Amino acid sequence: MDALRAVERELAALPPLVTSWEIERLKSQLAEAAAGRRFLLQGGACAESFADCASDVLTNKLKILLQMSLVLTYGLKRRIIRVGRFAGQYAKPRSADVETRDGISLPSYRGDLVNGVEFTAETRKPDPLRLLRGYERSALTLNFIRALVEGGFADLHHPEYWDLEFVNHSSRAAEYQRIVESIGDSLRFMETLAGEQVGEISRVDFFTSHEGLHLPYEQAQTRQVPHRTGWYNLNNHFPWIGMRTAQVDGAHVEYFRGIRNPIAIKIGPGMTGEGLLDLLDALDPEGEPGRITLIHRLGHDRIADGLPPLIQAVRGAGRTVLWACDPMHGNTETLANGIKTRRFDNILSELDQAFDIHQEMGSYLGGVHLELSGDNVTECLGGASGLEEADLARAYKSQVDPRLNYEQALETAMLIARKMKRMSGA
């Protein structure tokens, strides 16, 4: 306990990773998304590892998010808000406290912020010093991303910077190239009209997010800032409450109640309309625009029954929230050989139904939340290149949940773009 307190004190004295200006700017963008004028693209790893704080992993992740947002901008004709599950996604909720292998039981891996993944007693022991390592890795990650974005890497005039090695092998390559060319044409056209570079449109920014699970860590970097009232979590812009910790009388809701950041809540199949309204009353008593994003993750076979009553309840209470769909976490399954996977078809089916249900109910699905990798991993089954069970072993790198690989992620963006285009009658 003393060791933890010492680390908390150290964290509290270190500089913040983000500013309240950025947080407030994101909140107002999320408010526009809730009103149907923007779309949220939130994605990244299930669990970042300290070892993934590496140049190629980060640039590839940025590239796929940029490519997806380009496709979405084109198809949706709306501004995209880009939020990474990165620079701090280091703590994981686990359903079992212990893991048993060959008769040996050790504490479960809870994310690099808490313990190590290697199956030894020494590594699985929680170590408070990891909180400092996590803060430092977050800072390194953010520093690199900010430098890339500000240095012009994210400039829409140069999408060729984001081409991943295997874009050419993808069956989606031609479609992507068409989109890139068409955006280039529109940009040049607008610039000819305006007689200058369209700065605000051509430059894009990134916000950071992670599950606000480890309360001592989050709290140590929660501060007051000059000229504003209230408290801000300054280690990321947009923390979320995980499904397992969203109890209205729980510690996580109590902490999130007290911060001014925009926040998201993961909503699983057990949630009732009444329970949801209790949460909203606790977390957003004043109905502040942009404050709440509800990320439903119900599963392809439960969304048709589960989602309508939730939309109904929120509407009945006269509330406006941003709705986002996480089509990953309700569709996880374990194969006979013990490998955790997700079927691409089920992921797409949940997304597809989510768009339809919101539209039928006069609501707006304004975001997606995805677990993805910019690398060519083999963790989810299906997709254009038809990954099968036997392929999973080839490049299964996730330490927790299976992610979409580069091609599956791009394909998802294209399907969303096409779906929304059709829905708007375009």
Site of tokens 């119900």:
298
Taking CB under 6 A as the criterion, the residue among 110, 252, 266, 342 binding ligand PEP is 266
How would you classify the pairing of strands 231-233 and 222-224?
antiparallel
Q: Residue 426 CB, nearest distance to ligand PEP (Å)?
A: 32
Taking CB under 6 A as the criterion, the residue among 26, 87, 180, 243 binding ligand PEP is 243
CA-CA-CA-CA dihedral for 352, 354, 360, 365, to nearest 10:
-110
Which amino acid type is present at position 341? T
Taking CB under 6 A as the criterion, the residue among 329, 343, 358, 419 binding ligand PEP is 329
Taking CB under 6 A as the criterion, the residue among 46, 80, 179, 283 binding ligand PEP is 46
- Residue nearer to Co ion on the CB measure, 73 or 341: 341
Q: Say how far apart CA 37 and CA 284 lie, in whole Å.
A: 22
Distance of CA 205 to the CA centre of its chain: 15
Which range in 7-15, 32-40, 160-168, 240-248 contacts ligand PEP by CB under 6 A? 240-248
Site of tokens 């500000």:
150
Taking CB under 5 A as the criterion, the residue among 46, 70, 91, 404 binding Co ion is 46
Q: Residue 416 CB, nearest distance to Co ion (Å)?
A: 20
Map residues 272-311 to x or -, x wherever contact with ligand PEP holds by CB under 6 A: -------------------------x--------------
Q: Closest by alpha carbon to 180, among 56, 77, 73, 84?
A: 73
Distance of CA 227 to the CA centre of its chain: 30
Which amino acid type is present at position 276? L
Residues of this chain, 362-401, that bind Co ion according to CB under 5 A: 401
Residue 377: C-alpha distances to residues 90, 116, 158 (Å):
20, 22, 26
Helix (H, G, I), strand (E, B) or coil at 43: strand
Size of the site for Co ion (CB under 5 A): 2
Q: Residue 240 CB, nearest distance to ligand PEP (Å)?
A: 8
- Residue nearer to Co ion on the CB measure, 32 or 375: 375
User: What is the per-residue burial (b if ≥16 Cβ within 10 Å, else e) of 146-162?
Assistant: eebbeeebbbbbebeeb
Map residues 155-174 to x or -, x wherever contact with ligand PEP holds by CB under 6 A: --------------------
Phi, then psi, of 307 in degrees rounded to 5: -75, -45
* DSSP class of 234: -
Q: Residue 230 CB, nearest distance to ligand PEP (Å)?
A: 26
Which residues make Cβ contacts (< 8 Å) with residue 402, sequence separation at least 6?
A: 46, 332, 340, 341, 342, 371, 379, 380, 396
> What does R_g of the chain's alpha carbons equal in angstroms?
21
Work out whether 93 is an interface residue with ligand PEP (CB under 6 A): yes
Q: Residue 341 CB, nearest distance to Co ion (Å)?
A: 13
Instruction: Order across the sheet with 38-44: list the strands.
Output: 206-208, 79-85, 38-44, 365-371, 322-325, 292-296, 263-267, 240-241
Which range in 69-77, 117-125, 202-210, 236-244 contacts ligand PEP by CB under 6 A? 236-244
Work out whether 48 is an interface residue with Co ion (CB under 5 A): no
Residue 23: C-alpha distances to residues 231, 232, 239, 365, 414 (Å):
12, 9, 11, 22, 29
Size of the site for ligand PEP (CB under 6 A): 10
Q: Report the partner that residue 266 touches, choosing among ligand PEP, Co ion, none (CB closer than 5 to 8 A by kind).
A: ligand PEP
Q: Report the partner that residue 242 touches, choosing among ligand PEP, Co ion, none (CB closer than 5 to 8 A by kind).
A: ligand PEP
Q: Report the partner that residue 407 touches, choosing among ligand PEP, Co ion, none (CB closer than 5 to 8 A by kind).
A: none
Q: Residue 47 CB, nearest distance to Co ion (Å)?
A: 7
State the residue number with the nearest CB to ligand PEP.
Answer: 242
Pair of tokens at residue 119: 């199956």
Q: Report the partner that residue 164 touches, choosing among Co ion, ligand PEP, none (CB closer than 5 to 8 A by kind).
A: none
- Residue nearer to ligand PEP on the CB measure, 204 or 325: 325
What's the length of the chain? 426
Residues of this chain, 111-170, that bind Co ion according to CB under 5 A: none
Which residues make Cβ contacts (< 8 Å) with residue 192, sequence separation at least 6?
A: none
- What is the contact surface with Co ion in residues (CB under 5 A)? 46, 401
Binding site for ligand PEP (CB under 6 A): 46, 93, 211, 242-244, 266, 297, 329, 401
